[in-house]
A and B are shown apart, each in its own frame.
Chain A
Amino acid sequence: MKFRNYVSRTVKVSVFLLLVMVSCLILQHYFLRNMDHNSLRVDGFYQEERNSLDVVFIGASDIYTSFMPGRAYEQYGFTSYLLASESIPSEGVKTAVKEVVRTQHPGMIVIEANAFLYGSDKNESDQAHIHKFFDNVPLSFNKLEYIQKNVPIDEKWEYMFPLIKYHSLWTEYPDRLHMMASNFTLDIRGFNYLKGFSTTAQIHKPKKASLNSKLSEMNETKELEPFLKKQLTELLDYCDEQKLKVVFVRAPHYVTTDTLDRVKRSNKMAEFVNSRGYHYYTFEADAPRIGIDDKRDFYNSDHMNVYGALKFTDYLAEKILYREGLEVDPLNDAQIEMWSDTVKKTNQLYRYCDDLMTNGNDLGAQEDVLTLTSLDNYSSAPLEVNSK
């Protein structure tokens, strides 16, 4: 009798604790979470079948607005994903590389340089940017290592269980319903259509003249911020240790006198990375050669729109395939089906953005239910050459 009581109590307590834990996890994942395109992008990465990607791109918005994995697959036949997050700090890049090593063994990792080009280390402590990436990374030894090294003791729990930080988001419903639905449909579908790509349908209206056409002649350099250089060194050490095939790139920007220092630091970074035996492509200087049109292909000074992204994707994909010699793995039927959906949605997205920009409507376009439902009205046929 006593034993029965003991068992009954243990079962009841366990069921209660389990129910509370499951409820908290559901709340944390679907309802009370800081959901945006970053979370959908990072979630989507972890939904990719293990060891199924040929290339993983890591970086900030500079890369997820510039490279279209759907286009690269359609035209060049390799699979890729953008494990990127808005203004990701250097520590985030390091963790992302480790996570790629843990979950995928891609033929190549492409790292966009932005995180290492800041003039100060302020971005490293920007809580919003840190949380935008790390909140969405599932618990793993890599994440715990980041928390243990970098997070103040009183905030450690929040990084492990973001519900602690975001539980008050219930006050923002029903406004957040569409993001919750996006998250939910992503989980039901099981993969991210756009593979992390997001953009804004807008044409940049600059106040200052572009220096892009003069960049190829400019070889000036500027020292990297010491902390960021240390971070970069540690990253390269890790890549050496793991024998990773890593390529560094700098996406094209609308460079003006205000942002020229970043170009100089990029040149310096190129020297440093090259000296360590890695390739670094400074596409900012290549913008005219790629065919980037300063008047049409950017949506702001830091990001290209779909016109620029399409051109850059083709250019970078060719470099990856032919210059870097990427070996492409064959896909099974299910993967082929998924990637053909990705191609369709990417093409539809391009036409959707083209339509918006042609009509002068500025709007964000990403992997959410609002954008995806709008795409149904557009053709998914391959993009014509003159689209470029």
Chain B
Amino acid sequence: MLFNLSYTTLNFLFFVLLTMLLYFLFPVKKYKWTILLAASVFFYAVMGYKYAFFILFTSLSTYLIALWIERVSAKSKKLLKEKKKEWDRDQKKKYKNKIKTQKRLIMTLALLINFGILAFLKYYNFFAGSLNDLLGSFSIGFSMPTLNLILPLGISFYTFQSMGYIVDVYREKTKAQHNPFKLMLFVSFFPQIIQGPISIYDQLAEQLFEPHAFNFTRMKHGMELIVWGFFKKLIIADRAYILIGAVEKDYGSFGGTTLTFTILLYAIQLYADFSGGIDISRGVAQIFGIDMIDNFKRPYFSKSINEYWRRWHISLGGWMKNYVFYPLAMSNAFITASKKMKGTRFGKTAAGAHISKVLPTSIASLIVFLLVGIWHGADWKYVAFGLWNGVIIMLSIIMQPLFDGVVDKLHINRKNPFFIAFQIFRTLLVVLVGYVFDVAPSFEQGMRTIVLFFTGQNINTGIEEISKLGLIPQDYFVLIIASIVVLVASIIQERHQDTDIRTMLDNTHFTVRFAVLYIAVMAVVIFGIYGSGYNAADFVYMQF
């Protein structure tokens, strides 16, 4: 890193201000997007110049392969048009299949190259280590060397985004971009490069290339969103991380109460960190007139784990749904397996009929969540994290009729607030167990933590341990107040889903808006964790 341009630095704010001035004052409307490209290149050069080769390679390979796929499509369409009268139906079908296979091969080439780079850099050492352990257990004297690999900044995010674009071009949902610089902007747009959201080409690209004029309301809303992001990241997330980081350093030495408290705090920290970062990204993009997808929809209000994953990291969930889940669930293999099961004796029972019906979706869900787990990191604990979520979702799909039956039998009103609270609480518990594998340094430690939840609770020891973990009473006070502010804002937003709080704020008296914004800014200035007095934490999702 040449110098720190991380989203929560003054450097970044000045960088945005400068980019904003250049963008809105740029005289040639048609080429306004080049300012965004220049800013993105500068941002990446400053933050990760040593690894710029990788993003350049991904941009270039994505650009060329998308053009190749489009050219094959265009050529085949032209030929089909020419041979419309000459060829019979079978010949046309055969040709179409040939072209489809050819396009699929080209697409697979792109996926293999780019996911191959990601997999190599991110998972090679994990794979080598696991293989060496396995071979060692059989006393086989072969070991794969481990390499000193460092992940290029944002590689998971830009690889997923680029590959989504390739698949969309293959599916002819979108046209290939003929300007390599425009594609490069789509891949490297600076507000989203660090931690997403993972955007779909059709949703983002045109907005990037369109010349946006300065708009006061949009800038005001963008700024408000940035302040809100700072509030969550600097006041809550980075303060909570002081304790979580201290626990992570010596994880094995803490008892059940401390670990339980840490996991609860982690739930708050992770949400504040990730959603705060996304708010900053979206806020910056909004200033330039670009609406990026919201990655969060108050996930801790979810009534089921399925719903939670529709509200948490929405862009990753959307990507997985579009490019993994549907292709798997609708694949011939899955549908054939489902049909086969339906034909068996078991498949003719009520339970069997249901299971065979939901089999493709439940297995596809399991695979998707296994991939989500692995996406989070190269460690068995992330595999466990993915499997835990996948298995719970699979079971909830399979056992849905049973749950419905129980609820009906007990005459429970599904809209009863206590029942809803129970559902939210139940979901939160499942989520928290998943988080254990995020925080724990290894799968074994994760399992130990779960055991300690039930067997290792000791309030006195816990209080003593927690009091030595770097947070002072004033920090807890700030954490509680700030978390209540976020909770209240989330409740208001949950109740008014047709609008957003910033628009609601626009409808209040000027002095109210002024006071709210002033208090928010000053709260960040005074209570934020930043500056050299602290070791400000990186965004959690930056490492993915």
CB-based contact A20/B533 at 8 Å: no
CB-based contact B530/A164 at 8 Å: yes
| B517, B530, B532 pick with most chain A CB within 10 angstroms | B532
CB-based contact A27/B531 at 8 Å: no
**Partner among A12, A19, A153, A168 whose Cβ is within 8 Å of the Cβ of B533:** A168
Q: Which residues of B contact A157 (CB under 8 A)?
A: 10-11
Query: How far apart sit A9 and B11, CA to CA, in the bound complex (Å)?
Result: 27
**Partner among B514, B526, B530, B531 whose Cβ is within 8 Å of the Cβ of A16:** B514
Encode contact with B along A1-29: 1 for CB under 8 Å, 0 otherwise.
Answer: 00000000100100010011001100100
Encode contact with B along A30-58: 1 for CB under 8 Å, 0 otherwise.
Answer: 00100000000000000000000000000
CB-based contact B4/A16 at 8 Å: no
Query: How far apart sit A12 and B513, CA to CA, in the bound complex (Å)?
Result: 11
Encode contact with B along A158-186: 1 for CB under 8 Å, 0 otherwise.
Answer: 10000111111011000000000000000
CB-based contact A20/B522 at 8 Å: yes
Interface residues of B in 489-544 (CB under 8 A from A): 510, 514, 517-518, 521-522, 525-534
Given A16-B517, A20-B522, A171-B472, residue A164 in contact with residue B10 (CB < 8 A): yes
CB-based contact A154/B531 at 8 Å: no
Q: Which residues of A contact B216 (CB under 8 A)?
A: 9
B: interface residue count bin: 20 to 34
Closest-by-CB residue of A relative to B10 is A157
Check B138 for interface membership: any CB of A closer than 8 A. no
Given A154-B4, A171-B474, residue A163 in contact with residue B525 (CB < 8 A): yes
| A19, A20, A168 pick with most chain B CB within 10 angstroms | A168
Total interface residues in chain A, CB < 8 Å? 22
CB-based contact A23/B534 at 8 Å: no
Given A153-B3, A165-B531, A166-B533, residue A23 in contact with residue B522 (CB < 8 A): yes
Q: Which residues of B contact A171 (CB under 8 A)?
A: 472, 474-475
- Whole-angstrom distance between the Cβ of A208 and the nearest chain B Cβ: 38
Query: How far apart sit A157 and B530, CA to CA, in the bound complex (Å)?
Result: 12
Q: Which residues of A contact B518 (CB under 8 A)?
A: 16, 19-20, 23
- Whole-angstrom distance between the Cβ of B5 and the nearest chain A Cβ: 10
Encode contact with A along B154-182: 1 for CB under 8 Å, 0 otherwise.
Answer: 00000000000000000000000000000
Given A164-B531, A167-B531, residue A32 in contact with residue B4 (CB < 8 A): no
6 contacts between A and B (CB under 8 A): A16-B518, A24-B525, A32-B526, A158-B531, A163-B525, A164-B530
Q: List 4 A-B pairs, minimum CB-CB distance, nearest first.
A: A153-B3, A164-B531, A171-B474, A157-B10
Apart from A23-B525, A165-B532, list 18 A-B contacts with CB within 8 A: A9-B216, A16-B514, A23-B518, A32-B526, A153-B3, A154-B3, A154-B9, A154-B11, A158-B531, A158-B532, A163-B525, A164-B530, A165-B531, A166-B533, A167-B531, A168-B529, A170-B526, A171-B475
Q: Which B residues are closer than 8 A to A by beta carbons?
A: 3-4, 9-11, 216, 472, 474-475, 510, 514, 517-518, 521-522, 525-534
